[in-house]
Amino acid sequence: MNRETDIVAYLKSNLKDRIIGREIYYFESVSSTMDVARELADRGAAEGTAVIAGIQKTGRGRLGRSWLTPKGSLAVSIILKPPQERLRYLPAISSLAVLQAIKNFGIAARIKWPNDVLIEGRKVSGILIENAMEAETIRYSIVGIGINVNFNSAEYPEIARISTGIAEHLKAEISVAEVAFHLLSELEVLYIKTKDMGRVTDNWLNNMETIGKRIRVNTGNAIKDGIAESVNAEGNLILRLDDGSAVEIIAGDVTLVKD
Ligand code: BTN
């Protein structure tokens, strides 16, 4: 079987009785899976609908950045409709799902707040969460996950120092369909667990390399240096500044600073 072209068949026969992946759309090439998922959600697509693309021409990342999706990558956007009070858990469960999916291939990975996943300090996955609100109420949320699977960072000198792919660490190419299967299965389990988030949050914090480290946060309009102290109930980062005061970071780009 050519698993990359039969990714939908592979997922449908392996993901059973699911919320996540109950409808799966696959495109060889697309602008961004976020846009396709949004269109589907606006037309009433069910919760759990997943949009997967082999290539994204204009993949996007957090903070207005672009996201590279060359052939051999996994790009997926999932439509979720969580109760409003569970929306804040989506960064934790999606980054943990990526972490577990990668661990299934015998590779250790860590989370960098809020939801980057790193192998040996280099980024292997990024997550973008976009919410559609009506007044103050959530209509749906789209969780977009990009994983560098058969991605050879050496081919992309501009990001080679900070990015990596799973295959680089296995010294062999792997099936994108299998990565997608593990990812969607793990996300399903964790999504159901948002009903009782205590243990999931502990697991998230235990896998986060950021906590306790000296970091620099770029919030888009300010740069803040300090020690990453903890993450609060909303999933926001608590940063202890050098003057002893603490600030809450809602969104930003974190880099570790060597002491
Ligand atoms: C980031 O690290 O800045 C987030 C990257 C998110 C990339 C994924 S790939 C699937 C989905 N489609 C997109 O255009 N972006 C997300």
Ligand 1, atom 15: closest residue by C-alpha: 60
Closest ligand 1 atom to Cα of 32? 14
* pLDDT at residue 64 tops 60: yes
Cβ of 56 below 6 Å from ligand 1: yes
**CA 244 / ligand 1 centre spacing (Å):** 35
Cβ of 53 below 6 Å from ligand 1: no
CA distances from 246 to 221, 224, 240 (A): 18, 11, 4
* pLDDT at residue 139 tops 60: yes
Put simply, whether the predicted model's pTM sits higher than 0.85 gets the answer yes
| Residue 5 pLDDT | 55
Closest ligand 1 atom to Cα of 33? 12
Cβ of 146 below 6 Å from ligand 1: yes
CA distances from 119 to 134, 167, 169 (A): 38, 11, 9
Cβ of 150 below 6 Å from ligand 1: no
Cβ of 113 below 6 Å from ligand 1: no
Report the side by side order of strands in the sheet with 237-241: 246-249, 237-241, 223-231, 214-218, 253-256
Q: In angstroms, rounded to a whole number, what is the distance separating the alpha carbons of residues 194 and 104?
A: 22
Cβ of 112 below 6 Å from ligand 1: no
Cβ of 70 below 6 Å from ligand 1: no
* pLDDT at residue 1 tops 50: no
Mean pLDDT score, 101-126: 96
| Residue 4 pLDDT | 53
Question: Which tokens sit at 241?
Answer: 């500044």
Q: How would residue 152 be classed by pLDDT, with cut points 50, 70 and 90?
A: confident
pLDDT per position as a tens digit, 185-203: 999 999 998 887 777 888 9
Mean pLDDT score, 50-68: 95
**DSSP code per residue over 188-203:** HHHHHHGGG-HHHHHH
| Residue 121 pLDDT | 95
